[in-house]
């Protein structure tokens, strides 16, 4: 076979698989529509009480939310997905009985703040907006409502701000509960009946109420109720249908889910270790005493000899080599190119 000298020579190898020239990316996080119940409504709900079983948010008491939100009873959501109206994107929706999500405009609505008895507003804003003193609510200031800001340079910084936002919400709920208990104790000491008042209510907002603030609310639900990523997003969408969790925010929450799972595993392992140590402490002490007595009577030592140490080292090296060989097995089946 002759080749034209003016043409480039044929390649000496061919790709073994179909190649993609785009930037590698992780698989997308698909959030399916929630399942429906017998009445045809989305079957999305959150369990009773809290499950903050680690120290990341400053509260290790699993009964924390159940205590400070006692007046609400069982924490359950009311699905409004099927009755959603486009105009409701300018309003705030009640995601939990004590947690609202909405846009910037609703934080300046005096009637809404009074009607819903909001006790704290939390603005999730960009650092540039913070420098310009944007997302500021004069209505909340005039009503004496506590304000909190979570400033981030970009969405990627949200994962570092999640513990701070969760701690701020829980601290406010705790302080509100303590103030009510102290006020009722004073009334009781004066012979007056205690007042019945609702626990704290927090409004979380950003410019649109659909991205940064929604991500913070999702992180709060995941941390305090041990919910996975997809059910947490479905719960928020069932209340505020216009939220927008793009791929970057979903990957961010997916990483936070792994962090929460690791922290819970560490806390569980630590608790199991403490329980195991406590139950076996006496048994170990008795066994050590028995071994020492046996060694003294027999006149022999249980220490390893030098030859035994060398044998153990050789066995460990052999095991490492076996594990290292496994990395190269069956690599010929996945050759990226084939020779011509």
Q: How far is CA 77 from the centre of its chain?
A: 19
Neighbours of 45 (CB within 10 A): 17
Asked if 131 contacts 105 with a C-beta cutoff of 8 angstroms, the reply is no
pLDDT in tens, the chain (340 residues): 565 677 777 777 777 777 777 777 778 888 888 777 766 566 666 654 444 455 544 444 556 777 776 666 556 555 667 788 999 999 999 998 899 999 999 999 999 999 999 999 999 998 887 776 766 778 888 999 999 999 999 889 999 999 999 999 988 988 888 888 888 888 888 888 877 667 789 999 999 999 999 999 999 998 888 889 999 999 899 889 999 999 999 999 999 999 988 888 887 787 778 877 766 666 666 666 666 555 555 555 555 565 665 566 555 555 555 556 666 666 666 677 777 7
Q: Which of 277, 301, 258, 193 is nearest to 26 (CA)?
A: 258
Asked if 46 contacts 95 with a C-beta cutoff of 8 angstroms, the reply is no
Burial of 267 (0-12, 13-18, 19+ CB in 10 A): middle
How far apart (Å, rounded) are the C-alpha atoms in residues 85 and 124? 25
- Per DSSP, 148 falls in state E
DSSP lists the bridge partners of residue 151 as 125
Asked if 223 contacts 166 with a C-beta cutoff of 8 angstroms, the reply is yes
Token pair recorded at residue 323: 């594990």
Q: What is the DSSP code string of 12-77?
A: SEEESS----SPP-PPP---PPPPB-TTSSB-----SS----SSTTS---TTHHHHHTGGG-S---
Asked if 243 contacts 210 with a C-beta cutoff of 8 angstroms, the reply is yes
Asked if 98 contacts 173 with a C-beta cutoff of 8 angstroms, the reply is yes
Q: Which of 47, 45, 50 is nearest to 174 (CA)?
A: 50
Question: Longest Cα pair distance anywhere in the chain, in angstroms?
Answer: 110
């Amino acid at each position: 076979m002759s080749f034209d000298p003016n043409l480039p020579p044929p390649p000496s190898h061919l790709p073994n698989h179909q190649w993609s020239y785009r930037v590698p990316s992780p698989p997308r996080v698909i959030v399916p529509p929630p399942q429906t119940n017998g009445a045809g409504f989305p079957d999305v709900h959150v369990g009773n009480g809290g499950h903050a079983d680690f120290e990341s948010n400053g509260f290790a008491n699993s009964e924390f939310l159940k205590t400070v939100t006692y007046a609400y009873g069982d924490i359950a959501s009311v699905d409004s997905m099927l009755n959603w109206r486009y105009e409701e994107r300018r309003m705030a929706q009640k995601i939990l009985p004590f947690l609202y999500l909405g846009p910037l405009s609703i934080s300046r609505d005096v009637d809404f703040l009074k009607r819903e008895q909001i006790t704290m507003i939390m603005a999730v804003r960009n650092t540039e907006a913070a420098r310009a003193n944007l997302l500021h609510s004069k209505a909340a200031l005039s009503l004496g409502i506590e304000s909190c800001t979570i400033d981030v340079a970009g969405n990627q910084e949200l994962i570092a701000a999640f513990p701070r936002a969760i701690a701020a919400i829980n601290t406010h709920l705790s302080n509100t509960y303590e103030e009510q208990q102290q006020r009722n104790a004073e009334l009781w000491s004066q012979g007056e009946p205690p007042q019945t008042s609702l626990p704290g209510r927090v409004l979380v907002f950003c410019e649109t109420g659909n991205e940064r603030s929604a991500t913070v609310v999702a992180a709060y639900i995941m941390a305090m109720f041990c919910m996975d990523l997809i059910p947490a997003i479905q719960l928020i969408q069932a209340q505020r249908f216009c939220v927008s969790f793009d791929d970057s925010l979903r990957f961010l929450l997916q990483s936070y889910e792994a962090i929460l799972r690791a922290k819970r595993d560490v806390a569980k392992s630590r608790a199991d270790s403490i329980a195991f140590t406590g139950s076996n402490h006496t048994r170990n002490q008795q066994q050590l005493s028995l071994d020492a007595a046996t060694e003294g009577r027999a006149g022999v030592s249980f220490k390893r000899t030098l030859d035994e140490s060398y044998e153990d080292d050789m066995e460990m090296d052999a095991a490492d080599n076996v594990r290292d060989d496994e990395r190269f097995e069956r690599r010929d089946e996945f050759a990226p190119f084939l020779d011509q």
